[in-house]
Chains A and B, each alone.
Chain A
Amino acid sequence: MSNTPKIIIVLTLITLISGAVLALLDSYTRPKIDNYRKIQENQAIAEVLPENDRINEVAKDGYVFYEAYRKHELVGVAFQVSGGGYQSELVLMLGLSPDFSRIIGLKILSQVETPGLGTKIEKDESNKEDPGWFINQFKDLRTLPSISYVKNASPSRDTEIQAISGATVSSKAIVDILNTHIKKAKAARGIE
């Protein structure tokens, strides 16, 4: 066709200009976006490993371990884990003692569970005094031999948490995610 050269030239020009504009834009916005992500991540780590003065990042076997030091002594390890909830993927930031025997803190990074039921794992609006009662149960929880949950009763052992009534599946999902990943991460870090 006679206008083939024109087609090539016009499309090339449009894509070139568009690429150039986007490249410029990216160089301007990327630092801001990365910065925001870093802040979020640091906040989460600070929340699950409160007492630290230095964080060291170690990537191994698919995990990124954030090692928290205080006065050059390893006080805890945090890493991100995820797994299937009732209707969404649950992403958690988990903070553990260096030997992985105790949970120091747990934070939910993202979840889209059933509003009013499954969302209680993060915030229970029916409990005015302590909306975060469910997730706070994980503080100082022992991980050996494994974490388990009880229903409609107060936990009797130091490896037990109380499930949310009406949202057993979401509660169980968190326990399952923790058990699997603690075991896997242990292997990755070579802890017996």
Chain B
Amino acid sequence: MKQKTAIQEFLKGLWDENPVLVSLLGLCPTLAVTVSAINGLAMGLAATFVLLCSAFLVSLLRKVIPNQVRIAAYIVIIATFVTIADRFLAAFTPDISKALGPFIPLIIVNCIILGRMEAFASKNGIGRSLLDALGMGAGFTLTLLVLSSIREILGSGTWFGLQLMWPFYAAWKVMVLPPGAFLTLGCMIAAANWINTRRRS
């Protein structure tokens, strides 16, 4: 296989291998926390932070960690960074931490992170691993931001807490409830597939 250039390594996470829209990974936080744009952004950034730090360490230690216990080692590394992110959010942005609830600790079992460690960081050098993690994190964050923006605008009439819709707009409450998450994500995946099909032909 031809080696990708550095910029390609970064860009693939944004669209071609977008973790949510193409790989359908990490759907649990994607569906659960995206009731408002700020939540989506915070979740995306927290996951990106964990992804970057873990990718760095895993890639650094890839020759040291014995093959038999690599998953266990990855989980400990990921869990450490997740706990760091969780504590920091709780200490400095308590409101966001409260809104995201158990989903920050649950980043530990987010398939995107473990998947990238196993599939990429454990086989590539530090530079590439960081680029890959950054791309995946950016793709995840952007997708969450779009999804949560749609849900917040339609479901509450606001965006990042700012009144966006006209004053007598009757908010579609369903959009901030779980069914709204499934509907919006379904539409986004459909749109992504549609665009890809058109690009290919």
Contact = CB atoms under 8 A, between A and B. Distances in A.
A83 B163 CA distance: 33
B54 to A, nearest CB: 11
B32 interface: no
Interface residues of A, number: 19
A124 B111 CA distance: 40
A25 B66 contact: no
B87 A29 contact: yes
A25 to B, nearest CB: 6
Interface residues of B, number: 24
A152 interface: no
Interface stretch (A10-18, A100-108, A140-148): A10-18
Contacts of B66: 3, 6-7, 10
A15 B80 CA distance: 9
Contacts of B72: 11
Contact of A22 (B68, B80, B91): B80
A7 B64 CA distance: 9
Contacts of A33: 87, 90-91, 94
A18 B84 CA distance: 10
Q: Is the interface of A mostly helix, strand, loop or mixed?
A: helix
A153 interface: no
Contacts of B61: 14
A10 B69 contact: yes
Interface string B131-161: 0000000000000000000000000000000
Contacts of B84: 21-22, 25
Interface in A86-126: 114-116
Interface of B: 61, 64-66, 68-69, 72-73, 76-77, 79-80, 83-84, 87-88, 90-92, 94, 171, 173, 176-177
Closest 5 A/B residue pairs (Cβ): A32-B91, A29-B91, A18-B80, A29-B87, A7-B66
Given A21-B84, A22-B80, A36-B90, 6 more contacts: A10-B69, A11-B72, A14-B61, A29-B90, A33-B90, A115-B176
Interface of A: 3, 6-7, 10-11, 14-15, 18, 21-22, 25-26, 29, 32-33, 36, 114-116
